[in-house]
Structure 1
Amino acid sequence: MKKIFLVALFFIGLSAAQAQELKWYTDVKEAIKVSKKEKKPLLLFFTGSDWCGWCIRLQNEVLKTPEFTKWAKESVVLVELDYPRRAPQSDEIKKQNNELQQAFGVQGYPTVYFANATVNKEGKVNFEGLGSTGYVAGGPTAWLAVADPFVKNAALKEKTKKSKKA
């Protein structure tokens, strides 16, 4: 009886762990492809993952919670744009992240931008900003209350575009 219980507990834990995992893209062009396919806006998380106290706090209090996980899976494509001091990064990722930091005018961390993006024929990315936020005290409920309207506005804009084309 104990073995059956332990095996059942193992599988429940395994499925719960898999359900909690979110896909965070580091390549913005790959994330844009997924965004277009899934018809979801991008959540661009500008962070100093290994040195920024407020970034770490946002991760622990919001981004790693079941509430955020559920919302994110339904609502956005996640992009982490990291500016670490100790963790190694490829030159390509550093270049991409620095260009995006300048394009969005990010001056402090954490900064979270919501955007739709398109890639033109020349491969140039154009972003349509939907809003931004940072750390919000009060856990996932408070943070999502700030973030969710940006996503809902994105869906409304998409619906309006489609009705104008028809």
Structure 2
Amino acid sequence: MKKIIIVLVLLVGSFAAEAQELVWETNVTKAMATSNETKKPMLLFFTGSDWCGWCIRLQKEVLKTPEFAAWATENVILVELDYPRKTPQTDEIKKQNNELQMAFGIQGFPTIIFANAKIKDGKVNFEGIGSTGYVAGGPSAWLAVANGFLKK
């Protein structure tokens, strides 16, 4: 009987852990407001989610791991700026993402920018903290690079 209870507790726990998936904001205005409220920088993830092999690999090896989830919850506001080929997007999101791609000079995917943003005189001013992309070595290697930017 004890074994059955233990197995049930473990199963319920694993489902609860999976249910706590990270929330990636797609609206940068909302993300900026949250960033300013919480005093956490934004992690802007420029990705081609349905065609970019390195983006998919970064997601699988780092961004969808428990280590990254715990780190992200503590340290950043997550923003996904996607440039899909098959997945439909609203015109508003396409426009926003294209403007941000030009503003940051993004030429390849995946690119991750760490930034703070302030609105001054009706205009958004981004303060870049650092940028990276795919880093070999799994979550610990990627998080070491990210932490280097955030500690500056």
Q: TM-score scaled by structure 1?
A: 0.85
Counterpart position of 1:39: 39
Per-residue Cα deviation, 1:17-71 (whole angstroms, up to 9, x for no partner): 234x111000001001111111100000000000000000100111011111111
**Match in the other structure for 2:15:** 14
Question: Where does residue 140 of structure 2 map in the other structure?
Answer: 141
**3-state SS of the aligned residue for 1:140?**
helix
Matched residues in 1 for 2:10 and 2:132: separation? 39
Counterparts of 1:25 and 1:132, CA distance in 2: 19
Q: How does 1:3-152 map to 2 (within 5 A)?
A: 4-5=5-6, 7-19=8-20, 21-122=21-122, 124-152=123-151
**Which structure carries more helix by proportion?**
1
Task: Give the alignment's Cα RMSD to 1 decimal.
Answer: 1.5
Name the amino acid aligned to 1:14. Answer: F
> Separation in 1 of the partners of 2:79 and 2:115?
11
> Aligned pair count?
151
How far the C-alpha of 1:125 sits from its partner, in A, is 1.4
Alpha-carbon distance between aligned partners in 1 of 2:93 and 2:55, rounded to the nearest angstrom: 19
Deviation at 1:127, TM superposition (A): 0.2
Q: Point out where structure 1 has 5 or more consecutive residues left out of the alignment.
A: 154-166
Instruction: Tell me the alpha carbon deviations over residues 56-90 of structure 1, each in whole angstroms, 9 at most, x when there is no partner.
Output: 01001110111111111111000000000000000
Aligned mates of 2:138, 2:11 — CA distance in 1: 29
The whole-number CA distance in structure 1 between the counterparts of 2:8 and 2:141 is 37
Aligned residue identity for 1:134: G
Instruction: Report if the CA contact (8 A) 1:62-1:143 is conserved.
Output: yes
More off after superposition, 46-55 vs 138-147:
138-147
After TM superposition, the score normalised by the length of structure 2 is: 0.93
